[in-house]
Chain A
């Protein structure tokens, strides 16, 4: 079946503009994650959604960052008033959420959105 998809694949914006990044998880996956990867660095957790539970927003770096998810489907990550330091690849992952079984909570990643803030 289809994997995790993200759009756009590349986004170039000017400092101060707002951007929206989109993630379509694998159908049936109730958990969804957003991560940021700056050039040459590791992945940073941003936010986690699980079903109808309150999202874990503890990784969002500032109040300029927000994310929404409609039910168990599409998620959007919004960055307001972008800064040059926001330039990075933004990765989305989804997983099934179970409490037993051999492969529960295995994360599957999308190809990412490369954001460049000029």
Chain B
């Protein structure tokens, strides 16, 4: 059974800091891993998708890495800004299916 854990649960940093969010999963037989952000009262916005054959993906100030063998992914945010404040979620499918399991998220607050 796929289980997804995100650490830390909450994070508060001053503007400009570089930071790392962690996602770990128990079943490494995954097709891909996806990172999202969720703003309060809103739906989810896709940030990055990493296929199982890839080791990392970059979009602007965001970089996500994937280590399938150890069941880990990290989301790196460079030069954080107050607009980055949101909850960040990772999601992976259960082995052999497209049933996605979400972590409980990291609640990020970037202080101006």
Residues of chain A with a CB closer than 8 A to B101's CB: 45
**A43 and B102 contacting across the interface, CB-CB below 8 Å:** yes
Residues of chain B with a CB closer than 8 A to A106's CB: 34, 46, 49
Interface size, chain A (Cβ < 8 Å): 25
Tell me if B97 is interfacial: C-beta within 8 Å of chain A. Answer: yes
Tell me if A70 is interfacial: C-beta within 8 Å of chain B. Answer: no
Bound complex: CA A42 to CA B89 (Å):
9
A65 to chain B: closest CB distance in Å?
Answer: 15
Tell me if B26 is interfacial: C-beta within 8 Å of chain A. Answer: no
Residues of chain B with a CB closer than 8 A to A42's CB: 89, 102-105
A72 to chain B: closest CB distance in Å?
Answer: 15
Partner of B98, one of A50, A108, A110: A50
Tell me if A13 is interfacial: C-beta within 8 Å of chain B. Answer: no
**A112 and B43 contacting across the interface, CB-CB below 8 Å:** yes
